[in-house]
Amino acid sequence: MDRAKAQPGPLARRPDNSAFKQQKLPAWSPMLTAHTVLPFFFLVSLLCMLVGTGLLVTVQRTQEMKMDYTEAGTCNICYEKRKNVSLASEPCTCKVIFNIEKPFKGDVFVYYGLQNFHQNLRRYMDSRDDGQMVGRMRNLKNPTSYCVPFARDPNGVPIAPCGAVANSIFNDSFTLSYSEPGSPSLRPVTLLRRGIAWYTDENVKYRNPKTTENQTLAQVFNGTAQPLYWQKPIYELDPSDPTNNGFINDDFLVWMREAAFPNFKKLYGVLYRADEPFTNGLPAGSYSIDISYNFPAQFFQGRKLVVLTTLTWFGGQNHFLPIAYLVTGGLIFLVAVFLTVIWWKFGKDGRNMEE
């Protein structure tokens, strides 16, 4: 019998004298030398530079135009009117005229943008009822406490959809028109307003309450109130398309996906390219946007924008990642050069650092 096992005390708990339990198995560790490390540094630097240059060239191919319409054109009248809470429910429309010098080729995406609007606050993001959003009737009539103070209206009627996120939905609307050269008439620019939300939002995360064969969506939502600052109930958001109402309305779904930063843009529509002269995109010329001005931005000292842009496989006009690659590649190259100089001066001939 093994002597360690026969003896009581700590020796009795000693692992077996095997290569595995005594951690004597052979191991491999790289030998880091100047001939292996320095080429690796230069190679990584080159790869970062190539990727950054490629992404930068790709981003430069996109076209983008931002228009701040908060007080632009005739919108200054609506801006002043929205300062008065008593006049907030009165409709107000304005027009912004702009020119496109260089044609926007390919698919053109129209976004609305907000500045200084913080959708990433925790209490704001939690102010919603996910049970409502998937069509549960018990949550429709009894909103969760997370929605307070936007759970019920002053008469005690449950709000659908409840919560601060839904209550603050962006409700400006845009009508884009094009003026052909030499023609005083305006041609409407058609925008595709369906299919702009994420597939998982429309088909998984959000669902309308189930209806019977002879039951309408308005009857399902009977006994609920619209959010305090909404102009229409949830089942009438899109009167022209009954399938685009309720919790699966595209504009509602786009808004409910909160932005990570205070300055953001959200998709409003995509250019319909089947009609002339928009088959190749937006031609150069004069354009105007008729705006239904509803969303008040002065209360959070924000700004409102309309953004026209084209996209590539990389996305929109975002220079952060290309610049990050180029800066990282440059820093790695400087480190590689510094290490090369140290090696050339102290280690090339086999001398150590103390000589």
Residue 2 lies in a domain: no
Check whether residue 142 and residue 282 sit in a common domain.
Answer: yes
Longest dimension (CA), the chain: 107
Residue 351 has pLDDT above 60, yes or no: no
Element (H, E) at 139: helix 137-141
The strand pair at 186-188 and 173-179 is best described as antiparallel
Mean pLDDT of the 160-165 span: 94
Q: How far apart are CA 134 and CA 203, in angstroms?
A: 10
pLDDT at site 100: 92
Q: Domain tally for the chain?
A: 2
Check whether residue 257 and residue 324 sit in a common domain.
Answer: no
Residue 139 has pLDDT above 80, yes or no: yes
Q: Report the helix count and the strand count for the chain, using DSSP H and E.
A: 11, 11
Q: Mind listing the pLDDT tens digit for each residue in 173-212?
A: 999 999 887 777 889 999 999 999 999 999 999 999 988 8
Residue 325 lies in a domain: yes
Check whether residue 284 and residue 333 sit in a common domain.
Answer: no
Mean pLDDT of the 239-254 span: 92
Check whether residue 328 and residue 213 sit in a common domain.
Answer: no
Check whether residue 176 and residue 39 sit in a common domain.
Answer: no
**Closest to 75 measured CA to CA, from 296, 270, 245:** 296
- Note whether 105 and 277 are within 8 A (CB): no
Domain that holds residue 116: 65-311
Mean pLDDT of the 296-317 span: 89
Mean pLDDT of the 64-80 span: 89
pLDDT at site 11: 67
pLDDT at site 355: 43
Check whether residue 305 and residue 354 sit in a common domain.
Answer: no
Kindly report the three-state secondary structure assignment for every residue of 150-212.
CCECCCCCEECCCCHHHHCCCCCEEEEEEECCCCCCEEECCEECCCCCCHHHHHHHCCCCCCC
**Closest to 132 measured CA to CA, from 123, 142, 118, 120:** 142
Residue 19 lies in a domain: no
**Entry pTM:** 0.82
Q: How far apart are CA 114 and CA 29, in angstroms?
A: 53
Neighbours of 64 (CB within 10 A): 16
Residue type, 276: E
Residue 350 has pLDDT above 60, yes or no: no
Mean pLDDT of the 20-24 span: 83
Residue 16 lies in a domain: no
| Cα-based angle 206, 212, 213 (whole degrees, multiple of 5) | 120
HSE-CB of 3 using CA atoms within 13 angstroms? 0
Q: How far apart are CA 159 and CA 128, in angstroms?
A: 11
Residue 3 has pLDDT above 60, yes or no: no
pLDDT category of residue 85 using cuts at 50, 70 and 90:
low
Check whether residue 162 and residue 267 sit in a common domain.
Answer: yes
Q: How far apart are CA 207 and CA 215, in angstroms?
A: 16
Q: Mind listing the pLDDT tens digit for each residue in 247-268?
A: 999 999 999 999 999 999 999 9
Check whether residue 272 and residue 352 sit in a common domain.
Answer: no
Average predicted confidence (pLDDT) for the chain: 89
Q: Mind listing the pLDDT tens digit for each residue in 39-52?
A: 999 999 999 999 99
**Closest to 165 measured CA to CA, from 128, 207, 123, 202:** 128
pLDDT at site 354: 46
pLDDT at site 317: 84
Q: Which residues of 268-305 are buried (b: 16+ CB within 10 A; e: fewer)?
A: bbbbebeeeebeebbbebebbbebbbbbbbeeeebbbb
Higher-confidence residue of 87 and 203: namely 203
Quickly tell me which residue has 């924000």 as its tokens: 302
Q: How far apart are CA 305 and CA 70, in angstroms?
A: 7
